[in-house]
Amino acid sequence: MARYGPMFGPDITFLGIDRCDMSDPASLRGAEIVVLGAPFDGGTSHRPGTRFGPSAMRGTDYKPHDGTRPHLALRTDALRDVDVRDAGDVECFSGDIETSIRRVEDAVHTVTAAGAVPVVLGGDHTIALPDVTGVARHYGFGRVSVLHFDAHADTGDIAFGALHGHGQPMRRLIESGAVRGDRFVQLGLRGYWPEPETLGWMARQEMRCYEMSEILDRGLNTCVREASALAMDDCDAVFLSIDVDVVDPGMAPGTGTPEPGGMTSRELLDTVRRVCVELPVAGVDVVEVAPPYDHADITALLGNRVVLEALSGIAARRQGGTWQPARPLLDGR
Amino acid sequence: MARYGPMFGPDITFLGIDRCDMSDPASLRGAEIVVLGAPFDGGTSHRPGTRFGPSAMRGTDYKPHDGTRPHLALRTDALRDVDVRDAGDVECFSGDIETSIRRVEDAVHTVTAAGAVPVVLGGDHTIALPDVTGVARHYGFGRVSVLHFDAHADTGDIAFGALHGHGQPMRRLIESGAVRGDRFVQLGLRGYWPEPETLGWMARQEMRCYEMSEILDRGLNTCVREASALAMDDCDAVFLSIDVDVVDPGMAPGTGTPEPGGMTSRELLDTVRRVCVELPVAGVDVVEVAPPYDHADITALLGNRVVLEALSGIAARRQGGTWQPARPLLDGR
Amino acid sequence: MARYGPMFGPDITFLGIDRCDMSDPASLRGAEIVVLGAPFDGGTSHRPGTRFGPSAMRGTDYKPHDGTRPHLALRTDALRDVDVRDAGDVECFSGDIETSIRRVEDAVHTVTAAGAVPVVLGGDHTIALPDVTGVARHYGFGRVSVLHFDAHADTGDIAFGALHGHGQPMRRLIESGAVRGDRFVQLGLRGYWPEPETLGWMARQEMRCYEMSEILDRGLNTCVREASALAMDDCDAVFLSIDVDVVDPGMAPGTGTPEPGGMTSRELLDTVRRVCVELPVAGVDVVEVAPPYDHADITALLGNRVVLEALSGIAARRQGGTWQPARPLLDGR
Amino acid sequence: MARYGPMFGPDITFLGIDRCDMSDPASLRGAEIVVLGAPFDGGTSHRPGTRFGPSAMRGTDYKPHDGTRPHLALRTDALRDVDVRDAGDVECFSGDIETSIRRVEDAVHTVTAAGAVPVVLGGDHTIALPDVTGVARHYGFGRVSVLHFDAHADTGDIAFGALHGHGQPMRRLIESGAVRGDRFVQLGLRGYWPEPETLGWMARQEMRCYEMSEILDRGLNTCVREASALAMDDCDAVFLSIDVDVVDPGMAPGTGTPEPGGMTSRELLDTVRRVCVELPVAGVDVVEVAPPYDHADITALLGNRVVLEALSGIAARRQGGTWQPARPLLDGR
Amino acid sequence: MARYGPMFGPDITFLGIDRCDMSDPASLRGAEIVVLGAPFDGGTSHRPGTRFGPSAMRGTDYKPHDGTRPHLALRTDALRDVDVRDAGDVECFSGDIETSIRRVEDAVHTVTAAGAVPVVLGGDHTIALPDVTGVARHYGFGRVSVLHFDAHADTGDIAFGALHGHGQPMRRLIESGAVRGDRFVQLGLRGYWPEPETLGWMARQEMRCYEMSEILDRGLNTCVREASALAMDDCDAVFLSIDVDVVDPGMAPGTGTPEPGGMTSRELLDTVRRVCVELPVAGVDVVEVAPPYDHADITALLGNRVVLEALSGIAARRQGGTWQPARPLLDGR
Amino acid sequence: MARYGPMFGPDITFLGIDRCDMSDPASLRGAEIVVLGAPFDGGTSHRPGTRFGPSAMRGTDYKPHDGTRPHLALRTDALRDVDVRDAGDVECFSGDIETSIRRVEDAVHTVTAAGAVPVVLGGDHTIALPDVTGVARHYGFGRVSVLHFDAHADTGDIAFGALHGHGQPMRRLIESGAVRGDRFVQLGLRGYWPEPETLGWMARQEMRCYEMSEILDRGLNTCVREASALAMDDCDAVFLSIDVDVVDPGMAPGTGTPEPGGMTSRELLDTVRRVCVELPVAGVDVVEVAPPYDHADITALLGNRVVLEALSGIAARRQGGTWQPARPLLDGR
Tens-place pLDDT, residues F210-245: 999 999 999 999 999 999 999 999 999 999 999 999
What is B147-161 written as a DSSP string? EEE-SS----S-BTT
The contacts of residue A175 (CB under 8 Å, 6+ apart) are none
Name chain A's partners: 3 or more CB pairs within 8 A.
B, C, D, F
Whether C158 has its CB under 8 Å from any CB of chain B: the answer is: no
F34, amino acid identity: V
Closest CA to E119 of E303, E323, E279: E303
From chain A, pick out residues whose CB is under 8 angstroms from the CB of C65: 9-11
Q: Give tens-digit pLDDT for E217-260.
A: 999 999 999 999 999 999 999 999 999 999 999 999 999 999 99
Q: Is a pLDDT exceeding 50 seen at residue A1?
A: no
How far apart CA D24 and CA C15 sit, in angstroms, is 64
Taking CA–CA distances from D160, the nearest residue in chain B reads: B64
User: What is the structure's pLDDT at F6?
Assistant: 74
Q: Give tens-digit pLDDT for E280-320.
A: 999 999 999 999 999 999 999 999 999 999 999 999 999 99
Angle at F44 between CA F40 and CA F49, to 5 degrees: 55
Q: Facing residues of D117 across strands? A: D33
E90 CA to chain D: closest CA distance, Å? 11
Specify whether domain A14-318 bears CATH 3.40.800.10.
yes
Res. B9 pLDDT band, cuts 50 70 90: confident
How far apart CA A21 and CA D210 sit, in angstroms, is 60
Res. A116 pLDDT band, cuts 50 70 90: very high
Taking CA–CA distances from C60, the nearest residue in chain A reads: A9
For D250, which of B298, B308, B329 is closest by C-beta distance? B298
Res. D2 pLDDT band, cuts 50 70 90: very low
How far apart CA F77 and CA F84 sit, in angstroms, is 11
Chains D and B are touching, with contact defined as 3 or more CB–CB pairs separated by less than 8 Å:
yes
Q: Facing residues of F145 across strands? A: F238
Closest CA to E285 of E163, E115, E203, E166: E166
How far apart CA A92 and CA A108 sit, in angstroms, is 14
How far apart CA D233 and CA D224 sit, in angstroms, is 14
For D16, which of F10, F13, F59 is closest by C-beta distance? F10
Is A243 annotated in a binding site? The answer is yes
For E261, which of F248, F265, F333 is closest by C-beta distance? F265
The contacts of residue C26 (CB under 8 Å, 6+ apart) are none
D51 CA to chain F: closest CA distance, Å? 13
Provide ipTM, 2 decimals: 0.96
Is D248 annotated in a binding site? The answer is no
From chain D, pick out residues whose CB is under 8 angstroms from the CB of E160: 91, 93, 95-96
Contact assignment for E58 to B16 by CB distance below 8 Å = no
Cα E153 to Cα B308, E232, F72: the distances in Å are 48, 21, 10
Q: Quote the pTM value.
A: 0.97
From chain E, pick out residues whose CB is under 8 angstroms from the CB of D41: 48
How far apart CA E135 and CA E140 sit, in angstroms, is 8
User: What is the structure's pLDDT at B33?
Assistant: 98
Res. E125 pLDDT band, cuts 50 70 90: very high
Whether F8 has its CB under 8 Å from any CB of chain A: the answer is: yes
From chain D, pick out residues whose CB is under 8 angstroms from the CB of F16: 10-11
Whether B190 has its CB under 8 Å from any CB of chain A: the answer is: yes
CA dihedral C157, C161, C162, C165 (to 10 degrees): -70
Q: Give tens-digit pLDDT for A25-55.
A: 999 999 999 999 999 999 999 999 999 999 9
Q: Give tens-digit pLDDT for B268-299.
A: 999 999 999 999 999 999 999 999 999 999 99
User: What is the structure's pLDDT at C7?
Assistant: 84
Contact assignment for E48 to D46 by CB distance below 8 Å = no
Burial (CB < 10 A; 0-12, 13-18, 19+), residue B204, is exposed
Whether C266 has its CB under 8 Å from any CB of chain E: the answer is: no
Contact assignment for C305 to F195 by CB distance below 8 Å = no
User: What is the structure's pLDDT at C233?
Assistant: 97
Q: Is a pLDDT exceeding 90 seen at residue F332?
A: no
User: What is the structure's pLDDT at D8?
Assistant: 86
Task: Give the pLDDT mean for A84-110.
Answer: 97
- Quick check: A289 and A255 in contact, CB under 8 A? yes
C222, amino acid identity: T
The phi and psi torsions of B276 (rounded to 5 degrees) equal: -75, -25
DSSP B126: G
Binding residues of E: 125, 150, 152, 154, 243, 245
For D162, which of E8, E95, E293 is closest by C-beta distance? E95
Contact assignment for D293 to E293 by CB distance below 8 Å = no
Binding residues of E for Mn(2+): 125, 150, 152, 154, 243, 245
From chain A, pick out residues whose CB is under 8 angstroms from the CB of C10: 10, 12-13, 16, 58-59, 65
Task: Give the pLDDT mean for E69-89.
Answer: 97
Res. E7 pLDDT band, cuts 50 70 90: confident
From chain A, pick out residues whose CB is under 8 angstroms from the CB of F49: 47-49, 292
Res. F1 pLDDT band, cuts 50 70 90: very low
Contact assignment for D161 to E292 by CB distance below 8 Å = no
In terms of DSSP bridges, do strands F70-71 and F76-77 run parallel, antiparallel, or are they unpaired? antiparallel
- Describe the strand order of the beta sheet including F18-19 as a list of residue ranges: F18-19, F84-89, F33-38, F117-122, F281-287, F237-243, F144-149, F184-189, F208-211
User: What is the structure's pLDDT at E2?
Assistant: 45
For D315, other C-beta atoms within 10 Å of its C-beta total 24
Whether F162 has its CB under 8 Å from any CB of chain A: the answer is: yes
Task: Give the pLDDT mean for E77-90.
Answer: 97
The contacts of residue A110 (CB under 8 Å, 6+ apart) are A22, A25, A28, A134
